Amino acid sequence: MVRFKHRYLLCELVSEDPRCRACLEERVLFGLVRDAIARVHGAFGAAACAVAFTVKYLNAYTGVVLLRCRKEFYQLLWSALPFITYLENKGQRYACFFNTLHVGGTIRTCQKFLIQYNRRQLLILLHNCPDGEERESIKKSVMSCSLEEPQEDQLSGGGSEEDATEME
Protein backbone atom coordinates (compact mmCIF):
# COMPACT_ATOMS: atom_id res chain seq x y z
CA MET A 1 0.00 0.00 0.00
CA VAL A 2 1.15 3.45 -0.78
CA ARG A 3 0.76 5.86 2.05
CA PHE A 4 2.60 8.52 3.98
CA LYS A 5 4.50 6.89 6.77
CA HIS A 6 4.46 8.63 10.06
CA ARG A 7 6.01 8.28 13.41
CA TYR A 8 3.97 8.82 16.51
CA LEU A 9 5.69 9.95 19.67
CA LEU A 10 3.90 9.10 22.86
CA CYS A 11 5.19 11.47 25.48
CA GLU A 12 4.43 12.32 29.03
CA LEU A 13 4.48 15.81 30.40
CA VAL A 14 6.23 15.95 33.73
CA SER A 15 5.90 19.03 35.78
CA GLU A 16 6.64 20.06 39.28
CA ASP A 17 3.66 22.25 39.43
CA PRO A 18 0.24 20.62 39.11
CA ARG A 19 -1.15 23.86 37.73
CA CYS A 20 0.96 23.29 34.73
CA ARG A 21 -1.54 20.75 33.59
CA ALA A 22 -4.20 23.37 33.33
CA CYS A 23 -2.14 25.11 30.71
CA LEU A 24 -1.83 22.02 28.62
CA GLU A 25 -3.78 22.66 25.47
CA GLU A 26 -3.37 21.53 21.94
CA ARG A 27 -2.64 24.91 20.51
CA VAL A 28 -0.13 25.75 23.22
CA LEU A 29 1.63 22.45 22.89
CA PHE A 30 1.79 22.76 19.14
CA GLY A 31 3.45 26.16 19.30
CA LEU A 32 5.78 25.02 22.02
CA VAL A 33 7.10 22.07 20.09
CA ARG A 34 7.36 24.04 16.88
CA ASP A 35 9.34 26.75 18.59
CA ALA A 36 11.61 24.22 20.21
CA ILE A 37 12.37 22.59 16.87
CA ALA A 38 13.02 25.94 15.27
CA ARG A 39 15.33 26.84 18.10
CA VAL A 40 17.29 23.63 17.94
CA HIS A 41 17.27 22.73 14.25
CA GLY A 42 16.73 26.05 12.64
CA ALA A 43 14.46 26.88 9.78
CA PHE A 44 15.16 23.67 7.97
CA GLY A 45 14.22 21.55 10.91
CA ALA A 46 11.10 23.55 11.60
CA ALA A 47 9.96 23.26 8.03
CA ALA A 48 10.78 19.57 7.79
CA CYS A 49 8.87 18.75 10.92
CA ALA A 50 6.01 21.08 10.12
CA VAL A 51 4.88 18.72 7.39
CA ALA A 52 2.05 16.69 8.83
CA PHE A 53 2.95 17.61 12.37
CA THR A 54 -0.03 17.46 14.65
CA VAL A 55 -0.99 16.76 18.18
CA LYS A 56 -3.15 13.68 17.84
CA TYR A 57 -4.07 13.18 21.42
CA LEU A 58 -3.67 15.03 24.65
CA ASN A 59 -4.76 14.29 28.16
CA ALA A 60 -4.23 17.01 30.68
CA TYR A 61 -4.98 14.78 33.65
CA THR A 62 -2.36 12.22 32.94
CA GLY A 63 -0.11 14.47 30.93
CA VAL A 64 0.00 12.08 28.05
CA VAL A 65 0.58 13.58 24.63
CA LEU A 66 0.67 11.95 21.22
CA LEU A 67 2.57 13.79 18.53
CA ARG A 68 2.70 12.93 14.88
CA CYS A 69 5.48 13.61 12.44
CA ARG A 70 6.64 12.33 9.08
CA LYS A 71 8.84 9.30 9.37
CA GLU A 72 11.80 10.94 7.68
CA PHE A 73 12.17 13.72 10.19
CA TYR A 74 10.88 12.37 13.46
CA GLN A 75 14.43 12.31 14.82
CA LEU A 76 14.53 16.07 14.59
CA LEU A 77 11.35 16.31 16.56
CA TRP A 78 12.47 13.78 19.06
CA SER A 79 15.81 15.42 19.64
CA ALA A 80 14.12 18.78 20.12
CA LEU A 81 11.77 17.58 22.81
CA PRO A 82 14.32 17.64 25.68
CA PHE A 83 14.83 21.33 25.05
CA ILE A 84 11.32 22.13 26.11
CA THR A 85 11.72 23.20 29.67
CA TYR A 86 8.67 25.21 30.39
CA LEU A 87 5.07 25.53 29.38
CA GLU A 88 3.68 28.96 28.87
CA ASN A 89 0.04 29.79 28.62
CA LYS A 90 -1.92 32.91 29.38
CA GLY A 91 1.02 34.65 30.82
CA GLN A 92 1.74 31.85 33.27
CA ARG A 93 4.91 29.87 33.00
CA TYR A 94 5.58 26.52 34.54
CA ALA A 95 8.67 24.42 34.38
CA CYS A 96 8.19 21.01 32.86
CA PHE A 97 9.80 18.47 30.60
CA PHE A 98 8.77 15.80 28.19
CA ASN A 99 9.34 12.16 28.75
CA THR A 100 9.05 10.07 25.59
CA LEU A 101 7.38 6.81 26.36
CA HIS A 102 7.07 5.21 22.98
CA VAL A 103 7.74 5.78 19.32
CA GLY A 104 5.33 3.98 17.09
CA GLY A 105 4.35 3.67 13.47
CA THR A 106 0.63 3.82 14.05
CA ILE A 107 -1.69 5.38 16.55
CA ARG A 108 -2.88 1.95 17.37
CA THR A 109 0.44 0.66 18.59
CA CYS A 110 0.82 3.77 20.68
CA GLN A 111 -2.57 3.21 22.19
CA LYS A 112 -1.70 -0.37 22.94
CA PHE A 113 1.49 0.67 24.55
CA LEU A 114 -0.29 3.30 26.60
CA ILE A 115 -2.69 0.72 27.93
CA GLN A 116 0.09 -1.50 29.06
CA TYR A 117 2.06 1.37 30.45
CA ASN A 118 -0.82 2.69 32.46
CA ARG A 119 -1.66 -0.68 33.82
CA ARG A 120 1.84 -1.22 34.89
CA GLN A 121 1.85 2.13 36.60
CA LEU A 122 -1.31 1.35 38.43
CA LEU A 123 -0.08 -2.02 39.58
CA ILE A 124 3.15 -0.60 40.85
CA LEU A 125 1.19 2.08 42.61
CA LEU A 126 -0.96 -0.58 44.13
CA HIS A 127 2.05 -2.50 45.30
CA ASN A 128 3.64 0.44 46.92
CA CYS A 129 0.56 1.88 48.49
CA PRO A 130 0.62 1.17 52.20
CA ASP A 131 -2.51 3.00 53.17
CA GLY A 132 -5.64 0.95 53.39
CA GLU A 133 -8.02 3.64 52.26
CA GLU A 134 -5.94 4.74 49.35
CA ARG A 135 -5.19 1.20 48.46
CA GLU A 136 -8.86 0.46 48.18
CA SER A 137 -9.52 3.32 45.86
CA ILE A 138 -6.58 2.43 43.69
CA LYS A 139 -7.66 -1.14 43.58
CA LYS A 140 -11.07 -0.08 42.49
CA SER A 141 -9.79 1.99 39.68
CA VAL A 142 -7.54 -0.78 38.63
CA MET A 143 -10.43 -3.12 38.60
CA SER A 144 -12.56 -0.66 36.69
CA CYS A 145 -10.11 -0.43 33.88
CA SER A 146 -9.19 -4.06 33.63
CA LEU A 147 -11.39 -6.77 34.89
CA GLU A 148 -9.42 -9.90 34.49
CA GLU A 149 -6.32 -8.89 32.71
CA PRO A 150 -3.95 -7.64 35.41
CA GLN A 151 -2.12 -10.91 35.70
CA GLU A 152 -1.85 -11.34 32.03
CA ASP A 153 -0.85 -7.78 31.77
CA GLN A 154 1.92 -8.28 34.22
CA LEU A 155 3.22 -11.13 32.19
CA SER A 156 3.10 -9.34 28.92
CA GLY A 157 4.25 -6.12 30.43
CA GLY A 158 7.76 -7.45 30.87
CA GLY A 159 7.96 -8.50 27.31
CA SER A 160 6.71 -5.32 25.87
CA GLU A 161 9.09 -3.26 27.87
CA GLU A 162 11.92 -4.37 25.71
CA ASP A 163 10.41 -3.34 22.47
CA ALA A 164 9.21 -0.16 23.95
CA THR A 165 11.59 2.55 23.13
CA GLU A 166 13.68 4.04 25.75
CA MET A 167 12.40 6.16 28.53
CA GLU A 168 14.32 8.99 29.76
Partner 1 sequence: MRSPSYLPCTLLGRRRLEGVEPAALGPEGLWLCRGTPALEMSNAREKKHAKKMRNQPTNVTLSSGFGAVDERGVKHHNGNEKSFQYQKQESHSGAPQHQQPKSTHVPSEPCMNEQPCKSQCRGEKGKGQAGWRGGHQGAAREIPKYITASTFAQARAAEVNAMLKAVTQKSSNSLVFQTLPRHMRRRAMSHNVKRLPRRLREIAQKEAEKTEHQKKEHSKNKCRKARRCHLNLLLEFNRRQKKNVWLETHIWHAKRFHMVKKWGYCLGESPTVKSYRASYRAMTKHCLLQDLSYYCCLELNGKEEEILKALARMCSIDTGLTFAAVHCLSGKRQGSLVLYRADKYPEEMLGPITFIWKPEGGTSTTPVNRKLWLWTHPTLKQDILTELKLVCQCVQPPEAAASIPEVVLTPHEEKSHIKQTENCKKRKRESDGEKNTNPVKKIVGDGTRNPFQPYSWTSSTTGIVVSDFTMEMNRYRLIGPLSHSILTEALKTASVYTEVEDAETVPHSWWVEACKNPDSVSVHHRQEAFFELLGGIASPAEFPAGTVLGLTVGDPRVNLPQKKAKALPSLEKCQDNEKVRQLRLEGVPVECAHSFIWNQDICKSVTENKISEKELNQMRSELMVPGSQLNLGHRESKIPILLIQQPGKVTGEDRLGWGSGWDVLLPKGWGMAFWIPFIYRGARVGGLKEALIHSRYKGAPSIPDDFPDCPAGILFAREQENNLLEKYKRHPPAKRPNYVKHGTLSPFRCPWGQLTRDWESRITTRAESLVSPSCSWANVKSDPGREDLCVVEDEQESKLSCEAETLKDKPGEPEEMMDTDSPGAAVAGDTTGEGVCGNDSGGTKGTFCVLRSRKLLKLLAAWCHPVARRNRVAIQASRMYQQQELTRATCLPILRDYPRSLVWVSLSLLKKGNPELHTMICIPSKDDILLLNEDRLYGGPQESRHSDPFKAKARKQKEKKTEKEQKQGGQHCAIVCAEGTPGLWPGSLPDITGHCSRTLLGFVTQGDFSLAAGCGEALGFVSLTGLLEMLLSQPADKRGLVLLRTPASLQYRFARIIIDI
Question: Where on the chain is the footprint of partner 1 (CB under 8 A)?
Answer: 12, 14-19, 21-22, 24-26, 55, 57-64, 99, 107-108, 111-112, 114-115, 118-119, 121-122, 124-126, 128-134, 136-147
CA distances from 106 to 29, 71, 146 (A): 21, 11, 23
Query: Which residue lies nearer to partner 1 by CB, 15 or 160?
Result: 15
CB atoms near residue 29 (< 10 Å): 21
Nearer to partner 1, 17 or 72 (CB): 17
Residue 120 one-letter amino acid: R
Distance, CA of 52 to CA of 68 (rounded, Å): 7
Which residue's CB is nearer to partner 1, number 41 or number 119?
119
CB 41 to partner 1: min, Å = 26
